[in-house]
Amino acid sequence: MRKGITYPHREGICSKQAHADFPTEGIYEREAGRAGFFGPAAHFHHKHPPTGWSDWEGELRPRAFNFNQVSDSAQLSPWDVPLLLSNQQCKIRVWQLQQAMPFLARNADGDELLFIHKGSAELYCDYGHLSVVEGDYVLIPRSTNWRLEPHQPMFILMIENSDGAYSLPDKGMVGQHAVFDPAVLDVPAINKAFKAQYSESMTQVKVKRHGEVSTITYPFNPLDAIGWHGDLSVVRLNWRDIRPLMSHRYHLPPSAHTTFVGDGFVVCTFVPRPIESDPGALKVPFYHNNDDYDEVLFYHEGDFFSRDNIEAGMVTFHPAGFTHGPHPKAFAAGLAYQKKRTDEVAVMIDTRHALAFSEQAKQVEQPDYVYSWRESK
């Protein structure tokens, strides 16, 4: 049955539409929303910034982590690096790989999504050979054998989907070719490079299942396929092939930038785009409480226009249940329309269920981040 037209209630002094044409100067809009920007929402107008707290006690607070400083992330095996943020459906790690893997890896717990933050490599897997470079997403289906041969030291963000398979988002009325055309997705090839690594030498496979690693030894290299057919494969997408949805009159919510959908979470990509030009349109991310989802942002490159003192390789965490939004200087710059274009690249992971932090994550936390919204004197 088709959903009918609804007419939201209006109370007091409020704008005619969300994120645009505020009724008076010096007010701050806040969105309270359900179901990750897809459900019911209310838009409040406040006299003070919703992030203007003077003190904070307790564990439910915004956090920032410097993943560049994770001490155990340089390992030959991806299964030897520590979990940093995780729940039953989504597990987040970073991995720094300096040299060619001497064995194969296989994740029997879930699909693995690699984001290549630094470096490049040759990837060999059950499906063939694929060259990967900085800025690539590499989606590896559950129980695929694979290994990497880096050309330079690599820094990789790993996002495990432990409760299902990754899919592409429903693009609705903008059509399947919006954001990125699936035709840009690359798959491995059984080419000369792949055939050159056929071998009768002993090869080990490190298999992770239930968080434990088993080692299977073969008297040959099991990456020996001569062909395959089907619609299941490793696939690659580079952020430079993403063409973001934009409106010069309306600041689109983060959900408009969804790249992959996992079970219980989404992965979004923020890429350079023009900033809204309409005089009445909000030009920075709006203050909001995403009351059903934890939000994780991994900063890849550029000038992160809504944040202060954040550098590439850092991560911010905003839990469900409290308001967050742009830092004061970014909010003021947006009102003044100082920038006409963003140049940031960031990966966002929004999870339906609460994330836990490992001890390794706590060791690289920036404890003063909760007070980074304070107005500078």
Given 219, 239, 259, the domain boundary residue is 239
Rounded to whole angstroms, the Cα distance separating 49 from 309 reads: 20
pTM of the model: 0.90
- Which pLDDT does position 21 carry in this prediction? 65
**Do 224 and 77 share a structural domain?**
yes
**Do 283 and 266 share a structural domain?**
yes
HSE, side-chain direction, 13 A CA sphere, residue 272? 9
Mean pLDDT of the chain: 88
Confidence of residue 310 (pLDDT cuts 50, 70, 90): confident
Given 239, 256, 285, the domain boundary residue is 239
Confidence of residue 316 (pLDDT cuts 50, 70, 90): very high
**Do 84 and 48 share a structural domain?**
no
* ∠ CA 146-353-325, rounded to 5°: 100
**Do 229 and 99 share a structural domain?**
yes
CB atoms within 10 A of CB 172: 8
**Do 38 and 98 share a structural domain?**
no
Please check whether residue 94 lies inside any domain of the structure: yes
Q: Lowest mean pLDDT of 58-67, 109-118, 140-149, name the range.
A: 58-67
Q: How many domains, in total, are found in the chain?
A: 2
Number of continuous H segments (helices) and E segments (strands) in the chain: 3, 24
Mean pLDDT value across residues 97-108: 97
Q: What is the CATH number of the domain that holds 137?
A: 2.60.120.10
Q: 261 forms bridges with which residues in the sheet?
A: 167, 266
Given 239, 272, 290, the domain boundary residue is 239
The yes-or-no answer on residue 327 being catalytic is no
**Do 211 and 323 share a structural domain?**
no
Amino acid letter, residue 47: K
**Given the residues 251, 257, 300, 327, the one annotated as active site:** 251
**Do 310 and 230 share a structural domain?**
no
- Which pLDDT does position 377 carry in this prediction? 47
Q: Is 96 left (phi over 0), alpha (psi -120 to 50) or beta?
A: beta
294 in a labelled binding site: yes
353 in a labelled binding site: no
129 in a labelled binding site: no
**Do 117 and 35 share a structural domain?**
no
**Do 83 and 51 share a structural domain?**
no
Q: What is the tens place of the pLDDT at every residue in 52-74?
A: 777 888 888 889 999 999 999 99
Q: 138 forms bridges with which residues in the sheet?
A: 114, 236
Mean pLDDT value across residues 113-122: 98
Please check whether residue 5 lies inside any domain of the structure: no
CB atoms within 10 A of CB 37: 19
**Do 324 and 354 share a structural domain?**
yes
Nearest-Å Rg of the Cα atoms of the chain is 22
Please check whether residue 19 lies inside any domain of the structure: no
Is 31:14 a contact under the CB 8 Å cutoff? Answer: no
Beta-strand relationship, 294-301 and 136-140: unpaired
**Do 148 and 79 share a structural domain?**
yes
**Do 80 and 141 share a structural domain?**
yes
Please check whether residue 117 lies inside any domain of the structure: yes
Please check whether residue 259 lies inside any domain of the structure: yes
Residue 78: phi and psi, rounded to 5, are -65, -20
Q: What is the tens place of the pLDDT at every residue in 31-48?
A: 776 766 777 777 777 777
Structural domain of 367: 28-65+244-371
Please check whether residue 197 lies inside any domain of the structure: yes
